[in-house]
Structure 1
């Protein structure tokens, strides 16, 4: 009701992860609102399967569809009552683009769906970094830059590093003396080259590859990039 009232088309609903995956395959929505604890198949496994299939959606809250966008892959937005670090981290590494609690306001929910559909990450980089610092491997023998990042230019590596330490697009532009449009272009190229869905996955990769080490900080981390 909340989504439909704001003009967002709800194309399917499901009561468990199995139904969610099936609904995604059938309707191929832009965004999925996914619960975590559900019978038969939980939301984390459902998210993994949806991401592996490269598109689809549904949940107890409902999948949302809309007009076409450049990135046709379905985005998953976790909507749950469980605010536990290991759930958030597991959801992000499974491919989710964000994490919300069910006490979120209707206005925030609607804005979040639209934000995720546009390809942005919902979580503040600071929150993502807190999770990565807690759960990412701390093997000091890793090379500074993982081979998966070898296709990035020096400027793109710089942008990825700053993005992972908590800077918004505006702050990146100010730090690098670039226009916001140019920064957005760099971010889009990074996501494309690394085959990532959004900024959250870019942050995860930056930490897990060793580009950014747990415990390092380089800029403001007090707000989400909304």
Structure 2
């Protein structure tokens, strides 16, 4: 499953994805909660969130992180204000901002990458619906620009079905050990049969064919 995901994400989303850096979760909610706990464990305290953005930040609060709301416009999150507010990390939707719908501009992406690299920060990238951008050309994932500083989160909830409860995190090398320890503390593992089925779809190209057919079935 992890090898199949690494190949797919590298080809389709431009990720730098080593299979040993991929963790399978039961969906984005669990992935977000794990990422928040690990961010706190490695020393982050103040984490920027998009405003407007998610309305449910229980996982971030439970992890002991302080939320720093940052305004969003048509170019995505205001990176200059994020830096000025003293944030140490961020949780963002750069490829399709939720709920406004914009894309983090190239200039702001570069600014954000420079900042996290210079200050040893981390960003959780929620790539929740990158396969379904019909209003413009698909934009590569932020993780491809800063694999050592971006935690990438994806799921099969929108492409296949939420009931599968399959998600994934692609984690920077320095966070692999703390993420592994945290995940083992949380649970014994994710369902194997569903993982094998999804891996088969990815490896045979059936997943790609399914995605190409999806627009015709959308209302």
TM-score calculated relative to the size of structure 1: 0.30
Choose between structure 1 and 2 for higher RCO, CA contacts under 8 A separated by at least 6 residues.
2
Greater strand proportion: 2
Please give the TM-score of this superposition, normalised by the length of structure 2.
0.30
